Structures are given as C-alpha cells and as structure tokens.
Amino acid sequence: MVQKKQKKDNTEEKSSEEDTVIADKETGKKSKAPIDKGVIDENSGDMDSDTEKGDGLNTETDDSVMDNDEKSRLSNEMSILKKDVAALRGELNALNQVKEAAFSKKEGHSGKISTLISTVRNFKRERDIFTKKVQESKKRRKELNDIIGKKIAEIKDLYEERDKITAKFKVKEDPVKLKHDIESMEYKVETEVMSFDKEQKLMKALKDKKKSLEQMKGAIDIIEKINTASKEINKLKKEANVLHKDIQRDASKSQELHENMLTESKKIDDLKKDEDGVYKEFFEEKKKYSEINIVLKKKLVRINEINSKFDDVRAHARKEKKKRAEKKLEDKKLAVDEKIKKRMKLTTDDLLVFQREQLENKNSKD
C-alpha cells in the first residue's frame, strides 16, 4: 500500500499591507496604517492560491467560519470606511495646504522682523555715534564760551583800569594815537628840511607828546593786554562757531537716524501683531489637522482589522480545500493499490497517481 505523507500546512498567507504615511511636516512624526487588498474568489476550486482583486476586500469565505450576513456587513463597513478615508485624506490635504501657507507666512514675517531688527540696530548704532559727537562738541563749545566769558570780563576790567589812568592825568587823547603821532613827528624831523623856528615848534610839540605818553605808559600796557585778549577771544569765537555748525549738522543727522529707527520699529510692531494672528491661525489649523489625522488612523486600523478577518477566512478556506484535495488523492492511491493487488488494468489517471506516489516515496527516502 502506498504510504501517506502528510505535509505541514504552510499555505496561510500574510495580508499584504500598503503603508500610508501620514506625516506632519512640523512635528516630523509618521503613522502607518494598512490599506485594504485584493479579495479571494470563494467559488474557486483550484488547489493553488486564487487571489483576485475586486472591490478591495478579501471575500473568500467559508460558511463554518463566517456566514453571509457577517461577510456582507463587513463588506459594507469596509466600503463606508474606504469612502471615509478618501474624504478624510482630501480634507487633510486641504488643511495641510492652509496650515503650510500659514506657516510660510509666519516664517516670512519672522524673516522680515529679523531684517528690520538688524536695520534698527544699525540706525541706533549710527545715531549714537552722532549723538556722542554732538555731546562732545557741546562740551567743548561750553568750555570755549566759558573761556571767552572770562576773557571778556578781564577786558572789561582792563578798560576800567585804563580809564582811571587817563582820568588821573587828564589826557583825552588816545594813547595809541598819541604814540603813532610821536613816531610820525620823529620821522618828519629826521627826514624833512625846515626852518629853525618851525623845527623848534615841532620839537616842543614832540616833547609835550612824549611827556604825555610817558604819563600814559601804564595805559598803553593795558591797551596791549586788551588787544591780545581781544585777538584770543576772536580766535576762540571762530572755533566755537565751527563747533556750533558741527553740532547742528551732527544733531540733524542724529535726529534723521532716530526718526528712521522709529519708523522701522513701528513696522516691527505691526508685523509682530500680524505674526501673532498668523501664528494662532497656524496652530488652529494644525490642531484640526491632528484631530482629523487621529480619526483617519482609527479608520485605517479598523480597515486592517476587517482585512485580518477576511485573511483568516481565506486561510481557513484554503486549509479545508487542501484537506479535501489530499483526501481525494489518498482515496485514488488506495484505489490504485487495490487494482494492483487484484492485477486489474490501470487507467492513464491511475498511472499518473501511481507515478506520483512513487515519486513522493523516493523524495521521502532522500
């Protein structure tokens, strides 16, 4: 008798999965959920795997595992789930576009704000440089004005001292003019030819003037001091005037930079207010996106569960189908063995069964 050889059932197939990646661009998180696959034709009588792609469900069933009502219910549920998933994905795509647009706008605002802040800092740095120059110029101008004020007071005292001297000697003539007249008269005496009487008169006048000048010597020294101080005051005033112009120029530039800084600062404030609104919009859309994504994941999990049930049904059907085929083959082997014992004529089908049995025995020995 042909010996039977039982093979371990390894025909149960794993359900194929198509990973759907739902990614959040900001968080970087990814979730995977299986997609429904092809269905099994429950009426197929072939011993090999007969998987056909129909409506996206595995529908090869066995009445002992899943009745028709259950199969119909799950198929309907799967159909609804697929529609829901498609709708949710469409909604997610739309929300993602809105969310990303808000995010891009927010990032654009952040970039503009950063640039404006840099500009304001540059304005402030330049403004502070001119402000410092104005302060230094004002300080120097004040020092000059203080010196000028002191020298004016000194000149005033010198004039009073000069007037006291001229009043004492009752000299009405200006000492400077008096000195100039003496020099002119001396030059005339030395260079001109004149009569004796005229020369005598000139010499007498020269002597009187020299006497008056001698009396006014103190006043002349004072006048020289006044002239020196006046020259110093004029020099200081010129420097003060230059500083005054520098102050006006630098102060104007400082004010201009300050106004530019205020203008750019207002732009920053306006952008920050708008950025807050955009940021709020972004998080609201992100929240909606996450909520819908959670619903989508649950539906995909349910699809996977239903697919698993159909996979179990399919595996059970194949197992039963294999058992029936093996039982049928075993019966044929027994019939062939019986014919051989009785020396009956074997048919072509009998010979094929016999050859298969011999091959199996040989393989088992090897």
The pLDDT assigned to 171 comes to: 60
Q: pTM here? A: 0.47
Q: What is the DSSP string of 228-288?
A: HHHHHHHHHHHHHHHHHHHHHHHHHHHHHHHHHHHHHHHHHHHHHHHHHHHHHHHHHHHHH
pLDDT of residue 31: 37
Q: What is the pLDDT along the chain (366 residues), one digit of tens a residue?
A: 333 333 333 333 333 333 333 333 333 333 333 333 333 233 333 333 333 333 334 444 444 467 888 888 999 998 999 999 999 999 999 988 988 888 888 888 888 999 999 999 999 999 999 999 999 999 999 999 999 999 999 999 998 888 887 777 666 666 677 778 888 888 888 888 888 888 888 888 888 888 777 767 777 788 888 889 999 999 999 999 999 999 999 999 999 999 999 999 999 999 888 888 888 888 888 898 999 999 999 999 999 999 998 898 889 889 989 898 888 888 888 888 888 888 888 788 877 877 777 776 776 665
Residue 326 included in any domain:
yes
- In the chain, the number of structural domains is 2
Tell me, yes or no, whether 331 lies in a domain: yes
Residues 283 and 161 in one domain: no
Q: Which of 48, 16, 26, 52 is nearest to 325 (CA)?
A: 48
Residue 17 lies in a domain: no
Query: Which of these three, 274, 294, 310, is where a domain ends?
Result: 274
Residue 135: domain span: 129-274
Residues 197 and 138 in one domain: yes
> Smallest Cα–Cα separation from 30: which of 15, 19, 41, 45?
19
Nearest to 186 by CA among 176, 195, 178: 178
Q: Please answer whether residues 31 and 297 qualify as being in contact, where contact means their C-beta atoms are separated by less than 8 angstroms.
A: yes
Q: How many CA atoms lie within 13 A of 263 on its CB side?
A: 8
At 205 the pLDDT is 84
- Asked if residue 347 and residue 252 are part of one domain, the reply reads no
CA angle 25, 284, 287 (to 5 degrees): 60
Q: Is residue 4 part of a domain?
A: no
Which of 224, 239, 274 is the C-terminal boundary of a domain? 274
